[in-house]
Amino acid sequence: MHETVERVAQQTTAPPRRGWLWPGLAVALAALLALVPQFVKRDDVLNLCFMVFLYISLGQSWNMLAGFAGQTSLGHAALFGIGALTTRMLWTNGEPFALALLLGGLAATIFALIIGVPTFRLRGAYFTIGTLAMAEALRITVSQTMPLVSTLPTDQIVGYNLATRYYVALALALATVGTAALLLRSRLSLGMLAVREDEEAAQATGVNPLKHKLIAFTISSFFAGLAGGVFAFQQVSYYPEAAFSPSWTFDALLISFVGGLGTLGGPVIGALFYILVREELAVTLVNFHQIIFGILFIIVVLVFPGGLVEAWARLRKARWLPWRGR
């Protein structure tokens, strides 16, 4: 019990010991990453980085709802898809991309607010299945009403700049992780944490569960929508239905859990790990990475709830390491 409280406190509300260290490192890393396209011209590397950044946003946005507020939603793909759809439609119709992206994020947020209130009446497993059903219903509707492939107009294809995509994805990843960091320091996170651990107790102490769940859901869906918009930006041609595929939800789950649910760095590490393993195995054994991650996922859920972040923390404290002494 004490260990749980300690772990929970460390995860969410403990400020870093040296106030400038982590933000400083983050800025340095961001600057470094921003310089990459100047030196690296290989498309495959840039694409790989794009994927990592996109998945960081995907995972972190889901983590904000499921990790911080404890609401395991399986409808993330719906928000991603709405963002993608809105952005794509607006952008291919001539709107500037930045506006289209923003509106995509907003569309997802509005959708989340509308369905959030009734959906949050469901509890636990029913909430999870309900969100899954909703996302699937939306996907099927889109696949039937918009079955045609969406291709960029020719001038966009000719002027396709991968570096731009890289920067947009990087900016989004930084924004998502940054927002999550700010959220963790805010008072809101305490309320969300309380709701996550025990909703009834939280309500008894005066925390409004619905308000905190909705806030988490709103922020989460905004970034999910933005991520979808960035995805739509990158794809030359794709089926609108593809952005609603449940695999986006499942990938977000995998990344967050394996990395460390509820932590700040979890989705980042998880995304990196996931994309690297996937691309590494993609040539030889397509989809084999899913089996690996499925197994890792089960192990994490049953044995290692803190994921890689917890494993790393335990390793650093381990007695048997040579420099720790007895």
Partner 1 sequence: MSYETIAQNLVFGLFVGSMYGVAAVGLALVFGVLKVLNVAHGELLMIGGYVTFWLYTLLGIDPFLSLLISIPALFLFGLALDRVIFRHVVRLAGETKIKNSLLVSFGLTLILQNAVIQLFSADERGVQMSYSGAGLNLFGVALPYTRMLIMVIALVAILSLHIFLQRTYTGKAIRATAEDWEAAALAGISIQRIYLLTFGLGAALAGMAGTLVSVSYGVAPGIGLAWTLKALVVIVLAGTGSILGAFPVGLLLGAAEALSGTFIGPAYREVVGLVLFLLVLLLRPQGLFARA
**Residue among 182 and 301 whose Cβ is closer to partner 1:** 301
DSSP structure string for 32-83: HHHHHHHH---HHHHHHHHHHHHHHHHHHHHHIIIIIS----S-HHHHHHHH
Give whichever of 129 and 315 is closer to partner 1, judged by the CB atom. Answer: 129
Q: Binding of partner 1 at residue 301 (CB under 8 A)?
A: yes
Q: How far apart are CB 105 and partner 1 at their closest, in Å?
A: 25
Nearer to partner 1, 188 or 254 (CB): 254
CA distance 28 to 32: 6
Distance CA 250, CA 59 (A): 10
CB of 164 to partner 1, least distance (A): 33
In contact, 101 and 226? CB cutoff 8 Å: yes
Q: Which stretch binds partner 1 (CB under 8 A): 123-131, 150-158, 176-184, 317-325?
A: 123-131
Q: Mask of contacts with partner 1, 252-291, x by CB under 8 A?
A: -xx--x---------------------------x-xx-xx
* Distance from C-alpha of 241 to C-alpha of 86, rounded to nearest angstrom: 13
- C-alpha 113/C-alpha 3 separation (Å) is 36
Q: Does 118 bind partner 1 (CB under 8 A)?
A: yes
- Told to check if 246 binds partner 1 by CB under 8 A, we report yes
Q: Is 144 in the site for partner 1 (CB under 8 A)?
A: yes
State the chain's maximal CA–CA distance in angstroms: 67
Q: Which of 69, 84, 132, 195 touches partner 1 (CB under 8 A)?
A: 132
Q: Are 75 and 134 in contact (CB under 8 A)?
A: yes
Q: Which is nearer to partner 1, 112 or 162 (CB)?
A: 112
What CA–CA distance (Å, rounded) separates 135 from 79?
8
List interacting residues with partner 1 (CB under 8 A).
72, 118, 121-126, 128-130, 132-134, 136-137, 140-141, 144-145, 246, 250, 253-254, 257, 285, 287-288, 290-291, 293-295, 297-298, 301-302
